């Protein structure tokens, strides 16, 4: 039967991508927005998985429905894997995607081209009320470009060139990005668990 599934995020870009990714799986799910009354979660985990699980659990507890959450970010080798879990607020609280990616580019401005390796990482969490939590992780390896390119995606997409591609993830069509992206990989890895949930008539 159709699984009602709360998308535990208030980021409109993530809502859009999760809808596209999950609907493309053919799963029988009804995706529901996070209710305005659900509490805000302090994302103070030290890992993507901790934060994703915390967000999914909070939304499941608030709604009584299964909930999925995403925690994701850009991990730059020359920044020892940061911005990492701080990706959304790298330039400080209240700053936007452009300020964040500009700061990263500024920080690596003296880093040689040969050391611009990076990866996008996404932890996807599913929390079922009264049931177990599942957290999976997807990664896509690539490198930074020195100037933003492309209008698609969000966050650091304009400066991330996946391995094997000559276009940034912001220069790709949505389906093309999801086929290789950290978020696509992570949420597709949740499909078997969501299918079981559907079979159980959650």
CA gap 124, 187 in Å, rounded: 6
115 touches a second copy by CB under 8 A: yes
In angstroms, give the least distance from the CB of 92 to a second copy: 4
61 touches a second copy by CB under 8 A: no
Helix%, strand%, coil% for the chain, nearest 5? 40, 25, 40
Given candidates 26, 30, 80, 173, which one binds a second copy under the rule CB under 8 A?
A: 80
Active-site option among 44, 70, 71, 77:
71
Given candidates 27, 31, 111, 202, which one binds a second copy under the rule CB under 8 A?
A: 111
CA gap 85, 94 in Å, rounded: 16
Catalytic residue at 113? no
DSSP assignment of 52-119 equals: HHHHHHHHHHHHSS-EEEEEEEEEEGGGTT-BGGGGGGTT-TT--HHHHHHHHHHHTTTS-GGG-EEE
Angle, vertex CA 39, rays to CA 14 and CA 15, nearest 5: 10
Query: Which residues partner with 3 through β-bridges?
Result: 29
10 touches a second copy by CB under 8 A: no
114 touches a second copy by CB under 8 A: no
Given candidates 91, 122, 135, 159, which one binds a second copy under the rule CB under 8 A?
A: 91
Nearer of residues 65 and 104 to a second copy, judged by Cβ: 104
First vs last C-alpha separation in the chain = 8
Nearer of residues 90 and 120 to a second copy, judged by Cβ: 90
Given candidates 107, 139, 165, 198, which one binds a second copy under the rule CB under 8 A?
A: 107
Q: Tally Cβ neighbours within 10 Å of residue 25.
A: 15
Nearer of residues 87 and 127 to a second copy, judged by Cβ: 87
Q: What residues are labeled active site?
A: 71
* Binding positions for a second copy, rule: CB under 8 A: 42-44, 46, 78-82, 84, 86, 89-93, 102-103, 106-107, 109-112, 115
């Amino acid at each position: 039967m159709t699984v009602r599934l709360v998308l535990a995020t208030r980021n409109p870009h993530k809502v859009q991508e999760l809808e596209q990714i999950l609907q493309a799986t053919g799963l029988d799910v009804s995706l529901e927005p996070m209710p305005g009354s659900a509490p805000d979660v302090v994302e103070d985990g030290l890992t993507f998985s901790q934060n994703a699980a915390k967000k999914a659990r909070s939304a499941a507890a608030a709604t009584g429905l299964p909930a999925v959450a995403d925690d994701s970010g850009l991990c730059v080798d020359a920044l020892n894997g940061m911005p990492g879990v701080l990706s959304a607020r790298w330039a400080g609280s209240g700053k936007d995607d452009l300020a964040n990616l500009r700061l990263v580019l500024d920080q690596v401005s003296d880093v040689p081209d040969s050391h611009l390796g990076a990866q996008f990482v996404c932890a996807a969490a599913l929390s079922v009320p009264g049931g177990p939590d599942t957290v999976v992780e997807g990664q896509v390896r690539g490198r930074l470009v020195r100037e933003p390119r492309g209008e698609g995606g969000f966050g650091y997409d304009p400066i991330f060139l996946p391995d094997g591609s000559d276009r940034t993830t912001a220069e790709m069509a949505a389906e093309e990005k999801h086929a290789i992206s950290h978020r696509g990989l992570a949420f597709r890895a949740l499909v078997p668990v969501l299918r079981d949930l559907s079979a159980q008539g959650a």
